């Protein structure tokens, strides 16, 4: 039980970390419209509407020993932990990306332009204006991706194969328990997952609230 | 400081004028005011002098977009300190706070932008822009959306910056009152400069009807030239002959007389009028009265309708009542004469 829970947490952390590496960059590049942006964004968000089994099936084909990745690199990720990280990342991408995108879109272009007129070069503009304003969105997107990957079932089952001691995580473990009619054990594991999920979503919301209260306005005259 | 600028995008614009002290850039929405300010700040590509080719970071300017653009994650003094990268630590904070002090904002130094009123935010933004010691301030609608006290404070802050720090300020606005306070006035419409000159002169003698409208000449009276009696043109209107200063025009020319609501005066029947003014009176009735803060707006109906605006203390003396007959006087020096062809050439814009 502890072991699968740790593997779940590790899986969630690894995929959230992977998304943190690529997600904000994608959101930054998609900040302004360009021909084909709708197409690109739709592709990034498609996992939202896709049955996890479909995504898992294609990932499996892609990562299998006879698949294209194995042929190029000789690396077969099917039924391995790294393969599961990849699957969970793709599946959580829409959540993280949406939050990242909002953070960059909410960034007032006037602030960056004014910073320029105040003599700030690119480095100062990014470090002193852009990052302080987008980081709460990046943190909340990453936390959401973490929470989502923690509970992911379909893709990790397809790609990981639910191999005990190797690719079994909390969600697939609970599935096994219920199938084996071990309800009290399933209940114990489930309640831990429930608490974890709630804690992470709560943390994300609390951060968003705090963010809004400190960076709500740039000095517009607002009607109150 | 002479400004010669040509811009192609987002809208074509070509201007040449002088900025001196507080210079107002007046024009309706979409005239190109923001475009010109951004181009001067280096945020839009443009050709011309000064500064063309320099990146915004290198231009000796201070730019305030319409919303003041204070950094929301920084307090007021930290916002000012952003413009002082050459200073370190305690020095930087001391100088930043001193700038706030000069704008009467020392007590707001620790506050974040969302806790400031619109007027305070713009004053902080002004302090921040000045802290860089620019030679030209570019202010985009600095009083838009402000209530009266805030607006007056922002105006005083601009005048302070110009008078005490010797900086030139180019201020985009569509507020005729702000424009009237300016040393120089540049009128812009649809990417074209309609008129430029000393503020009071432009304000008093708008070159075209379009400029007159932008400067608050709300009452327009159509008529035709009837004759010339130096130095006045005689214009036949529905209310009879009215005299207005101007150069002779061929009789029969269609013209428009323009007058500001503040400059239509009620005749005090207990006082004699000057002969010249007496010829320009119109009899009619007060239709409606409306209190608008310190002024009262009245609608007068005689041979045509006019809007009047009078200070409350004048209304207290006159005691106008709706429905009562009154005479108004259009003093020649407050009347502006425009020929109608001019008008036609504007509407084709």
Report DSSP letters for B200-260, one per residue.
HHHHHS-SSHHHHHHTT--EEEEEEEEEEETTEEEEEETTEEEEEE-----TT-EEEEEE-
What are the helix and strand counts (H, E) for chain A? 11, 0
Provide, rounded to the nearest whole percent, the portion of chain B with pLDDT above 70: 97
CB B280 within 8 A of CB B337: no
DSSP β-ladder status, B2-7 and B47-49: antiparallel
CB B149 within 8 A of CB B119: yes
Shortest CA distance to B122 belongs to which of B157, B84, B161, B163?
B157
Round to whole Å and give the CA distance between A100 and A142.
9
Residue B264 pLDDT: 92
Residue B230: both structure tokens together? 């130096």
Distance from CA of A216 to the nearest CA of B (A): 6
Tell whether the model's pLDDT for residue B135 goes beyond 90. yes
Confidence of residue B105 (pLDDT cuts 50, 70, 90): very high
CB B56 within 8 A of CB B41: yes
Segment B229-235 shows an average pLDDT of 90
Beta strands in B93-183 (DSSP E): 136-140, 168-173
Tell whether the model's pLDDT for residue A210 goes beyond 80. no
Out of A118, A214, A218, whose CB is closest to B82? A118
Residues 204-223 of A with CB under 8 A from B: 214-222
Handedness of CA B35, B38, B44, B48 (dihedral sign): positive
Alpha helices in B11-88 (DSSP H): 33-41, 76-81
Choosing from B178, B208, B238, the residue where a domain stops is B208
Whether the CB of A196 is below 8 Å from some CB of chain B: the reply is no
Show residues of chain B in contact with A118, CB under 8 Å. 62, 82-83, 128-129, 132
Same domain, residue pair B159 and B240? no
Q: Where in the sequence is the domain holding B200, given as residue range(s)?
A: 2-208
Per-residue pLDDT tens for A151-166? 889 899 999 888 898 8
Structural domain includes residue A222:
no
Show residues of chain A in contact with B150, CB under 8 Å. 221
The pTM score is: 0.77
Q: What are phi and psi of B12, to 5 degrees?
A: -70, 135
Round to whole Å and give the CA distance between A65 and A162.
18
Same domain, residue pair B171 and B273? no
Contact between B67 and A118 using a beta-carbon 8 Å cutoff = no
Residue B99 pLDDT: 93
Choosing from B208, B238, B257, the residue where a domain stops is B208
Residue A215 pLDDT: 59
Per-residue pLDDT tens for B297-306? 999 998 889 9
Element (H, E) at B153: helix B148-165
Number of domains in chain A: 1
Only one residue has tokens 């006045």, namely B232
Structural domain includes residue A153:
yes
Out of A132, A215, A218, whose CB is closest to B69? A218
Structural domain includes residue A38:
yes
CATH number at residue B64: 3.40.50.300
Confidence of residue A214 (pLDDT cuts 50, 70, 90): low
Tell whether the model's pLDDT for residue A48 goes beyond 80. yes
Round to whole Å and give the CA distance between A87 and A55.
8
Segment B207-231 shows an average pLDDT of 89
Confidence of residue A176 (pLDDT cuts 50, 70, 90): very high
Lowest mean pLDDT among A20-34, A54-68, A162-176, B334-348: B334-348
Out of A108, A114, A120, whose CB is closest to B63? A114
CB B186 within 8 A of CB B196: yes
Same domain, residue pair B191 and B64? yes
Show residues of chain B in contact with A219, CB under 8 Å. 67-70, 72, 113-114, 116, 118, 121-122, 124-125
Q: How many CB pairs under 8 A join A and B?
A: 101
Residue A224 pLDDT: 33
Provide, rounded to the nearest whole percent, the portion of chain A with pLDDT above 70: 94
Whether the CB of A50 is below 8 Å from some CB of chain B: the reply is no
Contact between A115 and B64 using a beta-carbon 8 Å cutoff = no
Sheet holding B295-301: strands in order across? B265-266, B325-329, B281-292, B295-301, B305-311
Confidence of residue B315 (pLDDT cuts 50, 70, 90): confident
Choosing from B183, B208, B233, the residue where a domain stops is B208
Q: Where in the sequence is the domain holding A170, given as residue range(s)?
A: 2-214
Per-residue pLDDT tens for A58-74? 999 998 888 888 888 88
CATH number at residue A38: 1.10.3720.10
Tell whether the model's pLDDT for residue B47 goes beyond 50. yes
Terminal Cα distance for chain A, rounded: 53
ipTM: 0.76
Number of domains in chain B: 2
SS3 assignment, position B185? strand
Shortest CA distance to B278 belongs to which of B331, B214, B209?
B331
CATH number at residue B255: 2.40.50.100
Same domain, residue pair B186 and B105? yes
Structural domain includes residue A22:
yes
Segment B165-192 shows an average pLDDT of 88
CB A177 within 8 A of CB A185: yes
Segment B162-168 shows an average pLDDT of 90
Round to whole Å and give the CA distance between B1 and B60.
13
| CA nearest to A217 within chain B | B114
């Amino acid at each position: 039980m502890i072991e699968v829970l740790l593997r779940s947490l590790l899986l969630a952390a690894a995929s959230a970390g992977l998304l943190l590496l690529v997600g904000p960059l994608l959101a930054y590049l998609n900040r302004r419209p360009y021909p084909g942006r709708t197409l690109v964004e739709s592709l990034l968000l498609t996992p939202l509407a896709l049955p996890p089994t479909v995504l898992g099936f294609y990932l499996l084909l892609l990562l299998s020993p006879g698949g294209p990745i194995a042929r190029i690199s000789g690396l077969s990720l099917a039924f391995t932990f790294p393969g599961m990280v990849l699957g969970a990342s793709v599946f959580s991408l829409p959540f993280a990306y949406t939050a990242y995108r909002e953070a960059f879109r909410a960034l007032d272009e006037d602030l960056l332009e004014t910073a320029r007129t105040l003599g700030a070069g690119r480095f100062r503009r990014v470090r002193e204006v852009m990052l302080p304003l987008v980081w709460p969105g990046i943190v909340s997107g990453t936390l959401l991706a973490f929470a989502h990957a923690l509970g992911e079932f379909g893709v990790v089952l397809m790609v990981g194969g639910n191999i005990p001691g190797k690719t079994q995580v909390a969600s697939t473990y609970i599935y096994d328990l219920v199938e084996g009619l071990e309800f009290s054990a399933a209940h114990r594991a489930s309640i831990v997952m429930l608490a974890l999920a709630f804690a992470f979503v709560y943390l994300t919301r609390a951060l968003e609230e705090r963010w809004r209260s400190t960076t709500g306005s740039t000095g517009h005259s607002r009607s109150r | 400081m002479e400004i010669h600028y040509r811009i192609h995008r987002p809208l074509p614009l070509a201007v040449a004028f002088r900025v001196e002290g507080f210079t107002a850039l007046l024009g309706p929405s979409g005239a190109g005011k923001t475009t010109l300010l951004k181009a001067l700040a280096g945020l839009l590509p443009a050709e011309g002098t000064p500064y063309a080719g320099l990146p915004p970071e290198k231009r000796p300017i201070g730019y305030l977009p319409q919303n003041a653009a204070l950094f929301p994650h920084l307090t007021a003094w930290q916002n000012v300190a952003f413009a002082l990268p050459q200073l370190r630590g305690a020095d930087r904070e001391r100088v930043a706070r001193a700038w706030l002090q000069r704008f009467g904002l020392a007590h707001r130094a620790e506050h974040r932008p969302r806790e400031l009123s619109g007027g305070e935010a713009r004053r902080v933004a002004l302090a921040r822009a000045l802290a860089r010691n620019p030679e030209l301030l570019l202010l985009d609608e600095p009083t838009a959306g402000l209530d009266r006290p805030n607006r007056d404070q922002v105006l005083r802050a601009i005048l302070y910056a110009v008078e005490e720090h010797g900086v030139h300020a180019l201020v985009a606005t569509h507020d005729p009152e702000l424009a009237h306070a300016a040393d120089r006035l540049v009128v812009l419409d649809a990417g074209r400069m309609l008129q430029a000159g000393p503020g009071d002169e432009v304000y008093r003698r708008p070159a075209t009807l379009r400029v007159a409208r932008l400067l608050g000449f709300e009452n327009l009276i159509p008529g035709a030239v009837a004759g010339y009696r130096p130095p006045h043109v005689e214009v036949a209107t529905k209310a009879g002959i009215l005299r207005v200063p101007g150069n002779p025009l061929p009789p029969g020319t269609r013209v428009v007389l323009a007058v500001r609501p503040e400059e239509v005066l009620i005749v005090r029947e207990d006082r004699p009028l000057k002969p010249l003014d007496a010829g320009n009176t119109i009899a009619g009735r007060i239709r409606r009265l409306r209190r608008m803060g310190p002024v009262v707006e009245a609608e007068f109906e005689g041979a045509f309708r006019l809007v009047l605006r009078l200070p409350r203390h004048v209304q207290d003396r006159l005691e106008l009542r709706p429905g009562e007959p009154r005479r108004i006087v259009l003093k020649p020096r407050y009347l502006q004469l425009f020929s109608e062809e001019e008008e036609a050439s504007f509407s084709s814009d």
